[in-house]
Structure 1
Amino acid sequence: MKTNNPRKIAILGGTGKEGKGLAFRWALAGHTIIIGSRSPEKAAIAADEIIKLTGEEISISGTDNISAAKDADVIVLTVPFSFHKEMLESIKNYVQGKVFIDVTVPIVPPKVTRVQMPPEGSAAQQALSILGENVKIAAAFQNISYENLLSGNNVDCDVLVTGTDKETRTEVIRLVKDTGLFGLDAGPIENSVCIEGMTSILIGINKQFNVQASGIRITGIPRE
């Protein structure tokens, strides 16, 4: 279903699997997507791959991370945690006043099934400490695998959204709906510690059952 409120969304680190999955879903919904990467060439290749995956006329392009951040009104960060702080510092001046969705999880190899949080409390709180309070920061999509996103099928998982304020969370939940997923307001950004930490638990569950895409679903609530 096409969105009634198309946005220009920059996915920084968008050449990775999670970034491509989100780009795929949002492009199909009618949003304008800008794939950001340290390598503009890789970003352009990723954009072409998504065009082929959708098989539709979509609006998507690839460029460097800073150019993507400058040009978009919604910023999505999907980089490994080892690059998180460096990326935040490089784009700080270009995301002020914008919606910023942090998908990063503080996974520290090799112990990826162990919850390991940074001193700030979570990756999203680290983003807030670096970007400042003028950025509308939310955390979302940490518990959704790229396999589910790229499948194009209905996904039996929910997306918990935390953020700096109610308005930001509501806006991000609308963007979650545009991916075909069900989003829930999980409260203030401090709660992101629980959601980010759940990813390490899900990785462990994947290993136990030899699967790729376990997820979470909230029961006992009304749904559309």
Structure 2
Amino acid sequence: MIGIIGGTGPQGRGLAYRLARAGVDVLIGSRDPERGMAAAEEVRRLVGDDVSVQGAGNADLPGRADMLLVTVPYEGLASTLRPLAEQVGDMIVMSAVNKLSFAGGPQALPVEAGSSAEEVARLLPAARVTTAFNNVSATHLRNAEHVFDEDVLVCGDDDDAVKRTVEVASRVDGLRGVSCGPLRLAFTIEAMTAVVISVNATHGVTAGLRITGL
């Protein structure tokens, strides 16, 4: 089961929907457990009852999920994750967080820790943190008619965590997880999101990233 921390926003709901469609059991977390349960009910109506889609408070996720996926806005990372550090322990934690600004066009913002994923690792010091789904459009995730044909760039410092993240990403129809190296590359992966958004806006397309020759 994948527990999505902050899963009631557009990205979290979209990922919950796509993962559930792929047959992955999902637990949608929120600061307000009732919001998590409402989001889970919404996803269940879309995918049916063949897969378990549940809602809960963020604090309940570490004890119930096998892996965690963080979709909290960067500004809310510290307040959301710091209280969970002991419960999370050495779990695999996938970060889909990007610190972006849209003033004057999309651009990546600097992060003191190096990247949003490294900030997640700082707040959850025992966790095995990876990047996942950073460049995948939340709008496309929630659009049942959108057909993906792109890669999910995965980096991390724990080989097993990277392997399992690649496997999770590759479960989603049309997505392929690609191992890219250590977690220090996370900022580059996160920053590419601004490029993808700009390309889509400039050309009126629904482009994503694809690593060729692999």
TM-score (norm 1): 0.88
Alpha-carbon RMSD: 1.7
- Residue 192 of structure 1 is matched in structure 2 by 186
Secondary structure of the 2:23 match is: coil
Query: Which amino acid is 2:90 matched to?
Result: G
How far off its partner does 1:207 sit? 2.4
Mean alpha-carbon deviation: is it higher for 17-26 or for 147-156? 147-156
Any conservation in 2 of the 1:25–1:178 contact (CA below 8 Å)?
A: no
- Residue 3 of structure 1 is matched in structure 2 by none
Alignment counterpart, residue 43 of structure 1, candidates 26, 36, 47: 36
Alignment counterpart, residue 135 of structure 1, candidates 108, 127, 137: 127
Query: Which amino acid is 1:220 matched to?
Result: G
Any conservation in 2 of the 1:112–1:203 contact (CA below 8 Å)?
A: no
Q: Can you list the C-alpha shifts for 1:108-149, whole angstroms capped at 9, x where unaligned?
A: 4535612212111100111112211x3111011010012332
Asked if 1:13 corresponds to 2:6, the answer is yes
Q: Can you list the C-alpha shifts for 1:162-195, whole angstroms capped at 9, x where unaligned?
A: 0122221111101111112111101000011110
Moved over 6 A (4+): none
Query: Structure 1 pair 104/112, CA: closer, same or farther in 2 (3 Å)?
Result: farther
Secondary structure of the 1:124 match is: helix
Equivalences for 1:91-130 in 2 at 5 Å? Answer: 91-110=84-103, 113-130=106-123
How far off its partner does 1:99 sit? 0.8
- Residue 88 of structure 1 is matched in structure 2 by 81
Alignment counterpart, residue 25 of structure 2, candidates 22, 32, 57: 32
Distance 2:149 2:19 in 1: 18
Mean alpha-carbon deviation: is it higher for 110-119 or for 57-66? 110-119
- Residue 163 of structure 2 is matched in structure 1 by 170
Alignment counterpart, residue 154 of structure 2, candidates 147, 158, 161: 161
Number of equivalent positions: 212
Any conservation in 2 of the 1:74–1:98 contact (CA below 8 Å)?
A: yes
- Residue 208 of structure 2 is matched in structure 1 by 215
How far off its partner does 1:76 sit? 0.6
Q: Structure 1: 5+ residue runs without aligned partners?
A: 1-7
Q: Can you list the C-alpha shifts for 1:22-43, whole angstroms capped at 9, x where unaligned?
A: 1112223333211100111111
Work out the percentage of aligned pairs sharing the same amino acid: 32
Distance 2:111 2:104 in 1: 15
Query: Structure 1 pair 112/169, CA: closer, same or farther in 2 (3 Å)?
Result: farther
Q: Structure 2: 5+ residue runs without aligned partners?
A: none
